[in-house]
Amino acid sequence: MSRATTSADTGGKSGGLARRGLLLVLSSPSGAGKTTLSRKLLEQDFGIAMSVSVTTRAPRPGEVDGRDYHFRDVAAFEKLGDDGALLEWARVHGNLYGTPAAAVMEQLATGRDVLFDIDWQGAQQLTGKAPADVVRVFILPPSAETLRHRLETRAQDKPDVVARRLAGAAAEIEHWAEYDYVLVNSDLDMCLENLRTILAAERLKRSRQTALAGLVEGLLKGL
């Protein structure tokens, strides 16, 4: 696939200048469309890479180890935590989830931004570790009915799992005000467009454009 070079797709560069990578965190209750949004964003923007989490949850039909998650047992997960290999971790809906640190560092080193599909606990931990680099976006469903319908028709989870996720939805939504941006996913295309706009603007922030000082110095010398 050829690489488009729109301003939102310039990876580690902005207007041709080097910049600091950012950590784009997406949180939402299960069923608000976050996974679809992430997938579409990654398809359209080659300057951002997904952080693939480690989890003790069993794979859903169609999920692939290493692509959707690194599926591990509890002992292996705990070892990663003990070894300091996780940037953050949390218990969500009764399972353990965590972000492998090394992969994030590798992506940042190659000049790519990193996308995280993590819950509010993970967002808080990442913010504590890299406050200047984190951009937090919360996705809300347009209504309780929509969320319930999406969870029930996903048909991948058993009824008790759906019930646990609905109960967890309220706990997740309670943290909406801790985020820098909030998007209501009533229309997927519009939501994606807004997400891309956020990413484009955040990439252009002065503080992220590390080469600007040098450029300005040169400009002033030439005047």
* Residues at the site binding ligand 5GP, with contacts judged by CB under 6 A: 30, 53, 57, 88, 90, 92-93, 97-99, 117-119, 121-122
Residues 6+ away with beta carbon under 8 Å from 106 = none
Minimum CB distance to ligand 5GP, residue 162 (Å): 11
Tell me the closest approach of the beta carbon of residue 221 to ligand 5GP, in angstroms: 47
Smallest gap from residue 15 Cβ to ligand 5GP (A): 32
SS3 86: strand
Which helix or strand (DSSP H or E) is residue 84 part of?
none
Nearer to ligand 5GP, 8 or 120 (CB): 120
Q: How far is the CB of 29 from ligand 5GP (least distance, A)?
A: 7
Q: Tell me the C-alpha distance between 176 and 204, whole Å.
A: 25
**Nearest residue to the partner ligand 5GP, using Cβ:** 122
163-188 core/surface letters (b: 16 or more CB in 10 A; e: else): eebbebbeebbebeeebebebebeee
> How far apart are CB 28 and ligand 5GP at their closest, in Å?
7
In whole angstroms, the minimum distance from the beta carbon of 45 to ligand 5GP comes to 19
When the beta carbons of 92 and 135 are compared against ligand 5GP, the nearer one is 92
Task: Using the minimum distance from each CB to ligand 5GP, give the nearer residue, 8 or 80.
Answer: 80
22/169 with CB nearer ligand 5GP? 169
Of 8 and 54, CB closest to ligand 5GP: 54
Cβ-Cβ contacts under 8 Å for 71 (sequence gap 6 or more): 55, 56, 57, 58, 59, 63, 65
Contacts of 98 (CB under 8 A, 6+ apart): 53, 54, 55, 77, 80, 81, 86, 87, 88, 89, 90
What's the one-letter identity of residue 212?
A: L
User: Residue 14 or residue 99: which is nearer to ligand 5GP going by CB?
Assistant: 99
